[in-house]
Amino acid sequence: MTFIREDLTSNLVEVDQESLSETVRWRRAILFPMVVAFGIDVGSYSETGHFAWYELTSASDSPTPNEDCHDPVALADRAIATLREGKQIVLGLEAPIWMPGSEVLLGRCPRMHERFASEKGRTWYAGAAATVGMMGLSVLSDFLARLAVANLNQTITDDFSHWVETKDAILLYESFLLTNKKPISCGSITSDEWDAFVTASLILEYKGEFTHLRECSHPGRLHELQKDENGHAALWPIVVPNEIPRRVGPRAPLTLAWW
């Protein structure tokens, strides 16, 4: 069974997605009309072919190749066009966009530590994760710079509740994909483009929709990983242009996985 969080009344509780009533699904359809999810696999942002993005307009969409998937300019242009159509968007990055709070606040010795249990061996501050984190901020910086030029009056936020209540807001979230656990492609896209598709799918699953991930041979369910008992620090606001409003939520940004 798959578990998600119900956030229709700002009360977060664990629910069994397979037993959700038609009434709940209907309410979600009202709360989330015309939402488009953009997933980004940062890859190697400076090298053509190792960066990829995917636009998911419906949870029922099957993976379809996009010849512009390796072009970050095409990503920004598509997102801007979507916003001008009056739709709301969410942007997920497969890269760390927040760091944990200080252990000193809990009376412990200061040290670098993982944000959640699954991050052990792939911590946000070391190795590939640290590199991808910096590249992710660069991706976001370029994306938002183009958004600022377009003058679309959007607020950037990692606060899910605020995003639900605010039409002119873009939600940022993080996907956490492990090579040996992530869904295996069962469609017509692979590699970085597949990871971007998975990233986009995760937020739709969080909203209570059934995506193509359920059709893959690799079994799994949605996991919400972020924990911030000792606080957290958002990294993404440092790249938001001054022209764009930002809102940092009280909780750590959504960090979603599927295994």
Q: Where are the domains of the chain?
A: 3-9+31-258
Q: Is the pLDDT of residue 36 over 90?
A: yes
Q: 178, 258 in Cβ contact below 8 A?
A: no
Q: Is the pLDDT of residue 170 over 70?
A: yes
Q: 22, 241 in Cβ contact below 8 A?
A: no
User: Average pLDDT of 123-149?
Assistant: 94
199: exposed, middle or buried (Cβ count in 10 Å: 0-12, 13-18, 19+): buried
Going by DSSP bridges, is the β-strand pair 246-247/35-41 parallel, antiparallel, or unpaired?
unpaired
- Range scoring the smallest mean pLDDT among 43-57, 91-105, 193-207: 43-57
Please state whether the predicted TM-score (pTM) of the whole model is above 0.85: yes
pLDDT for 33: 60
Q: Where are the extended beta strands (E) located within the chain?
A: 3-6, 13-16, 35-41, 52-56, 88-93, 98-100, 155-157, 169-175, 222-224, 232-234, 246-247, 255-258
**What are the start-end ranges of the H helices in 13-126?**
22-31, 72-84
Q: What percent of the chain has pLDDT over 90?
A: 64
Mean pLDDT, the chain, integer: 85
Sequence-distant (6+) residues with CB within 8 A of 8 are 24, 27, 28, 31
Q: Is the pLDDT of residue 9 over 60?
A: no
